[in-house]
Each structure stands twice: as structure tokens, then as C-alpha cells.
Structure 1
Amino acid sequence: MNLLASSGQLRASLMRWLLVCVPLVVLLGFLSGTLAGSGPGNPWFDELVKPAVYPPRATFGIVWTVLYVMMGVAFAMILAARGARGRGIAALAFVIQFALNLAWSPLFFGAHMMSAALVLIAVMLLAAIVTTVLFARVRPMAAALLVPYLLWLVFATYLNFAFLQANPGMDGVKRSGAVERFDI
């Protein structure tokens, strides 16, 4: 009995993982941001002083979609690397860093906790670096797909810090978005 898979079987395995991982990562990322209120119309966020390097708001949706697709492809490559040494720990590292990623938007946009979000994104960046190193040991191309994500996380960490510096009184402030009415 031959235990080696043919190249066709390997491609089919990767395709199956791609069909699961890419939509799942993109969907979870979209839900995290949407349910946290990171889109237009978040009254708390609209009140914040924006740092000078803050890009146009549409940039975030485009960049995160591309990054989530790349992350999903990288994860699928690792999951399809059946029998590869280090595959399990690399997959676990990805799940941990991705869970941290999904927690950031609710913490920053939903709970308005910029300080806690800064700590979280720093931990997320460290976890993403570990994930990238572990991916490189299994599939170097999968690690290469995570490099733009790492670069964006560095920028996002700076943005989180800059928002906190420019808006220290808004850290943890609750805004309902409701209109208050005063009778005179």
C-alpha cells in the first residue's frame, strides 16, 4: 500500500481547505468588525480626534478583506500539509492569534477600551509573529502570505497608540448614540 498522495490528491486537499478556510476567516473577520460597530456611524469613534496618519475609512475594509483572504489561504496551506512536522502547533498558533484578532474590534469599537485594546493588539502582534515563524517551518509560502498582515498589525498598533494619545479622556467612555432631548 502506498502512503504517499499523488500531486492531484494534494491539490484537491488544498482546494478543500481553501473552500473552508478563506470564507470562514473572511466571514468571522467581517462579523467581528460589524458586530463591534467598527463601521460608519459609531458615535464614540466619530468623536475621536484622528491621528494625522489615519487613512481614509474605506481603506480598512479593503485592506482587512485582502489580509483575511491571505490569512485564510495561508491557514489552508498549513492544514493541507498533512503529515508535516509542526503542522499541529502552527495551526493552533494561528487559531490563537486569530481569536485575539477577532477580540480586538469589540474591545476597541464596542467597549471603547483603547488601553486594553492596545495591550491586546501588542499580544496579537507577538502571536502573529510566532505563527509566522511556525508557518515558515511547515510551508514557507504560507509564512510569506502572513508578512503583509504583520506589517499592517505594526501600523494598527501605532494607530491604536496614537488614538489613545490624542483622546485620553475617551478611553472607556460609553456612548449610546442616543439623542438627548432637553426641554427649555
Structure 2
Amino acid sequence: MTKVVVLAGPIAVGKTAVADALADQLLADVVSARRVLLRETGAEADRTSLQTGGRLLDQRTNGRWLLYALEERLDQSEKDLIVLDSARTMRQTVPILENLSTARLVYLEANTDARRIRYARSAASDEVKRSADFAVSGEHITERNILDLRTGADLRLDTTSLTLGETVEAVVQELGLRTSWLQDDRP
């Protein structure tokens, strides 16, 4: 049965980097909430448009649009792991956890200084991050409420002083991703 890892956390904690690393190391499929938003809403690739589009899509689907995207990928994928990058609200997350029995919520966090530095570093190659500075991005209601997802997380990791490799290894170990596959492969 395909496992689903739902990444969540504030901006610039490393969600996309972790999703990409899991895709590389474990051959996971990644569902990008950003790409789903762009496809479903026709929004511009800037933070304000994406945040507005997400709110409207949440209202239109009662928060189920990410569940629908995951279900579609589960129907199409032959991979053992699908990673959602990322759920941003309780309204998006609860339907996933209630309807996909293999879904696990991973909440990443880091201190503000580390996130500010990461945000600035990645803005060079990320048009969404270039569209609004770190402080303005953090003022949006979605960002202010992201802490709501911490409580129900299956795994919480503070990435402030962890390398990407250490973060990915913690996700793999704590969620038993490799162990279950090795057991499935035994004669």
C-alpha cells in the first residue's frame, strides 16, 4: 500500500527541499500544492495570488482540493511513497488524514532567523519568494495559523540546526519508510 507523507510548516523551513530529497532518495512521487493551485485557479506565480487562490479553493472544495490531488496521484502512481508539498491549513489537512489511512503528517519548524536566511537564499531561484519579502509573507492569515498543524503531527522536526540529510533521515526513520519496504521485499 502506498504511503503518503504530508509536509507542513511555516515558510522557509525546508518543505520543498525535503520533498525533493525524498523523491530522489526513495523514488517518491511529489504532489506540489503550488502546482495544483496554479493549475486549478490560473493564479499568478506570486505569493499573494497563491494565498488568495488557496483560500478560494478551500472555500469551493471545503478544503478537499489537496485530498483530490492526492487521490488522483494514488490512482496513477506505482510508487511506494507520495509526498505532499505541502498542506497549509487544518481545513486542507483533516480530510487527507481522515480519508487516507496511510497518510502521516510531518510538521517542520525552524527559528525565525534561520527561516529568514533560507528565504533570502532561495529567493534567487524562486519567483514566488521574490514576489514578497519574508516579513510580508509571514503576515498572511495562512502563515499565522500554520501552528495549528503542529498539534496533530505524527512527527515534528526542528530543522534550525539540522542538515537536509539529517532531516530526511529523521523522516525516514521515524515514519519507518525504509523498514516496511525491506520487510515487504524479504522472501
Q: TM-score, normalised by structure 1?
A: 0.25
Normalized per residue, which structure has more helix?
1
Q: TM-score, normalised by structure 2?
A: 0.24
Normalized per residue, which structure has more strand?
2
Give the number of the structure whose alpha-carbon radius of gyration is greater: 1
